[in-house]
Amino acid sequence: MIKVLFVIILVSLSSAQAADDLSSFATSLDSTLRHLNSHQTVQCDSSKLTQVSAANTKLGDDKVSVMSEKEAQKLFQELKTNGEIPFEFSIAGCEERAHEMSRLMLLKGITPIKVFASVDENDSPRLRRPNPTKSGTTVEWKYHVAPAILVKKNNELVPYILDPSLEKNAVPVSEWQASMTHHNPKMKVQLKFTPAAQFDDRGRIRTNFKDNDFNKSIKETLREHKARSKSVDGEDQYWFELQRNEERMMMFDEGGY
């Protein structure tokens, strides 16, 4: 019998509610991660990712893949080099990137979870990182999301984030959080671990990865972001269109149309 321990190192998480949520998550996960399933070979459905031999364990009612750190790093590099996902356009589209990465992993028999990092803007500044495409500027988020898998290290299961828009490698969740809080390491950050099907931070949308129409919509958004990433004015164009759409919605609400 292999005793599986779960450790989450959360940096500067001072919110009592967030701590309770993570404690509950860790307790639930520890009670379910008692036995690892046998390794399974899954037939490849896509040539975009090479097959990874991954054991699965249970997180509540959902499966989560467990792999070695070497396998996780190889998976990260293959996702990173996917030319259809605009990781360089990090100012927007994290939900779409996380969905598409999760979908590709599921096609290969790898079952991810998602991790949402969020802040209450009344208590903390926004999550922030250097802009990879505009030197001297930053990218800020109220919340950010990326897929994750569990890495087995010394009989412990550690969540590793797969986020090429922010990181150069797969990293433990604590390092991922630290990457977004260098400007204020003590800021309050809430981490939520969810099934891969959860699309947004509030759980208002739960996706079906076999929904062709939804997947088509996601790919179209990614293509638009990809095109913007190649344009000098792409980010400014995105903010202009976003503001214009918000103004149109306000006019609808006010009976302007």
- Tens digits of residue pLDDT in 72-126: 999 999 999 999 999 999 989 999 999 999 999 999 999 999 999 999 988 888 9
Weakest-pLDDT range from 24-38, 214-228, 237-251: 24-38
pLDDT reported for residue 83 = 95
Radius of gyration of the chain (CA): 19
pLDDT reported for residue 38 = 36
pLDDT tens digit string along 161-196?
A: 999 999 999 999 999 999 999 999 999 999 999 999
193 phi/psi in degrees, rounded to 5: -100, 120
pLDDT reported for residue 179 = 94
pLDDT reported for residue 222 = 97
Whether 34 has a pLDDT exceeding 70, the answer reads no
| pTM for the full predicted model | 0.75
Weakest-pLDDT range from 39-53, 131-145, 168-182: 39-53
pLDDT reported for residue 247 = 62
| Stretch 231-247: mean pLDDT | 73
**Residue 143 neighbours by CB under 8 Å, 6+ apart:** 116, 117, 118, 119, 127, 201
pLDDT reported for residue 155 = 85
What percentage of the chain reaches a pLDDT higher than 90? 55
Across 13-167, the runs of DSSP E, i.e. the strands, are 55-59, 62-67, 113-118, 127-130, 138-141, 143-153, 156-161
pLDDT band with cut points at 50, 70 and 90 for residue 8: very low
Cα–Cα distances (Å) from 79 to 42, 104, 137, 225, 230, in that order, read 18, 9, 26, 17, 19
Whether 39 has a pLDDT exceeding 60, the answer reads no
List of domains in the chain? 5-211 (3.10.620.30)
Whether 52 has a pLDDT exceeding 80, the answer reads no
pLDDT band with cut points at 50, 70 and 90 for residue 248: low
What percentage of the chain reaches a pLDDT higher than 70? 72
